[in-house]
């Protein structure tokens, strides 16, 4: 039997699903996910990889890519300094908050962009490299097309909410692969746990760097509509894998899902040879992908995003506690009425047990 590319990847996905458990209690839906080999582009797992999604701070991957490109072309150096404009200073957090007129060198700007996910620094780099935000965004979109990111549209360099700014897990994988293959000299930046800018000590948002064996990058992102996103890479025995996770309800959930996928990839890479998996370029477009970005705001805990899910989780926990207490009480009552001796007539028909009401 000759399977189509998409049938083969769906089969591989089923194998992964049978092995990788994602025990995130209470999550109603899971966002797109993609596990792939950056070296050859082989796809090990794909779920809703072509659904439109808001990239949030994963946008900064492109901002970093264009900065690396300018460095390689000799247009700037790591010591080049860019000024802080009023536009950059006005960006909302996360930011480093330098005053208008201050200057920041490219080296520290890249570190702050990656580790702090600083929105003001993204604008500093954009204006410094292209002269204006509009010109830089145009370069972002031109570069996205060149890299084959056919379903990506950029509206700003930092990923702050913009309805038209969308991407897909597949497109982000193509960008990730380009960064890793074209600019390996900057790989240490993606694995930084913390940095210092002046007297300020900044720690990474990427908890996988501390918790997952072999983790070495790359970038996290979050807005209420996009949920918690991450592009995560890890290397074991000289082999690197990358996972794209979009739309999780918490930072812990995105780390767990990424770790599970990466762990599966390292343990079951032999499936690549058995099933001859497709690549990022040859993976067929699913017939039912979403062309409009999904919002997961209602599933993200906290008052900033509406708090609906947080309230639901609290109610579920309270309900479970009541059920446990009721069960314990019922068990105690049952034990107290168990006869100490067997009835004289063993052949007598035992009374029917009471039928419990079904809980809805």
> Over the stretch 309-352, which tens digit does the pLDDT of each residue have?
444 445 445 545 655 666 666 566 555 544 434 444 434 333 34
Q: Would you say 156 and 62 are in contact if contact means Cβ atoms under 8 Å apart?
A: no
Got the DSSP string for 275-287?
A: H---BTTTSPPPT
- The pLDDT of residue 197: 86
The mean pLDDT of 129-134, rounded to a whole number, is 98
Q: Active site residue: 57, 94, 130, 255, which one? A: 57
Does pLDDT of 255 surpass 60? yes
Q: Which of 225-239, 262-276, 302-316 comes out lowest in average pLDDT?
A: 302-316
Q: What pLDDT is stored for residue 91 in this prediction?
A: 98
**Phi-psi group of 101: left, alpha or beta (phi > 0 → left; psi -120 to 50 → alpha; rest → beta):** left
Mean pLDDT of 28-52: 90
List, for residues 219-228, the tens digit of each pLDDT value.
Answer: 999 999 999 9
pLDDT at 312: 44
Closest-CA residue to 312 (of 322, 325, 299): 299
Query: pTM of the full predicted structure?
Result: 0.78
Residue 360 confidence (pLDDT): 39
Structure confidence by residue, pLDDT tens digits, 288-312: 889 999 899 988 987 888 755 444 4
Q: Is the per-residue pLDDT at 30 higher than 80?
A: no
On the question of pLDDT at 207 being above 60, the answer is yes
pLDDT at residue 287, as a whole number: 87
Residue that wins the pLDDT comparison between 132 and 10: 132
Q: What percent of the chain has pLDDT over 90?
A: 67
Question: Measured between alpha carbons, how far apart are the two ends of the chain, in Å?
Answer: 46
Among the ranges 5-14, 77-86, 264-273, which has the highest mean pLDDT value?
77-86
154 within 8 A of 163, measured Cβ to Cβ = no
Catalytic residue among 60, 95, 116, 219: 60
Mean pLDDT across the chain: 83
Q: Which of 94, 95, 116, 117 is catalytic?
A: 117
Query: 76 pLDDT exceeds 70?
Result: yes
More reliable by pLDDT, 299 or 186: 186
Torsion of CA 66, 203, 34, 294, to 10 degrees: -90
User: Residue 121 belongs to what H/E stretch?
Assistant: helix 119-130
The whole-number pLDDT of residue 263 equals: 94
pLDDT score of 353 = 38
Give the lowest-confidence range in 11-20, 73-82, 135-144: 11-20
Is 57 annotated in the active site?
yes
């Amino acid at each position: 039997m000759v399977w189509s590319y998409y049938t083969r990847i769906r089969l591989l996905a089923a194998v992964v699903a049978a092995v990788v458990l994602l025990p995130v209690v209470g999550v109603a839906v899971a966002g797109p996910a993609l596990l792939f080999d950056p070296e050859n582009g082989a796809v090990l797992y794909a779920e809703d990889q072509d659904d439109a999604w808001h990239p949030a701070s994963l946008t900064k991957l492109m901002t970093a890519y264009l900065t690396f490109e300018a460095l390689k072309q000799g247009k700037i150096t790591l010591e080049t300094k860019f000024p802080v404009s009023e536009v950059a200073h006005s960006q909302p957090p996360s930011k480093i908050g330098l005053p208008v007129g201050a200057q920041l060198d490219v080296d520290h700007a890249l570190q702050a962009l990656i580790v702090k996910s600083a929105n003001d620094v993204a604008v500093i780099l954009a204006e410094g490299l292209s002269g204006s935000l509009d010109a830089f965004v145009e370069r972002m979109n031109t570069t996205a097309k060149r890299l084959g990111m056919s379903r990506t549209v950029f509206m700003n360099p930092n990923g702050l909410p913009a309805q038209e700014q969308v991407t897909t897990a597949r497109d982000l994988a193509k960008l990730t692969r380009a960064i890793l293959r074209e600019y390996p000299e900057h790989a240490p930046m993606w694995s930084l746990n913390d940095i210092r800018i002046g007297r300020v000590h900044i720690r990474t948002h990427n908890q996988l760097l501390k918790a997952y064996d072999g983790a070495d990058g790359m970038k996290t992102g979050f807005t209420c509509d996009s949920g918690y996103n991450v592009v995560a890479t890890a290397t074991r025995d000289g082999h690197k894998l990358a996972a794209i996770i979009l739309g999780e309800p918490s930072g812990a959930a995105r780390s767990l899902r990424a770790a599970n996928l990466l762990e599966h990839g390292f343990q079951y890479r032999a499936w690549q040879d058995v099933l001859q998996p497709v690549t990022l370029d040859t993976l067929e477009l699913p017939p039912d992908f979403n062309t409009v970005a999904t919002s997961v705001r209602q599933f993200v805990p906290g008052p900033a995003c509406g708090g609906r899910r947080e309230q639901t989780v609290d109610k579920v926990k309270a309900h479970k506690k009541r059920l446990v207490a009721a069960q314990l009480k019922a068990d105690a009552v049952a034990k107290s009425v168990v006869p100490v001796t067997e009835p004289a007539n063993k052949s007598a028909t035992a009374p029917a047990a009471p039928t419990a009401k079904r809980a809805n």
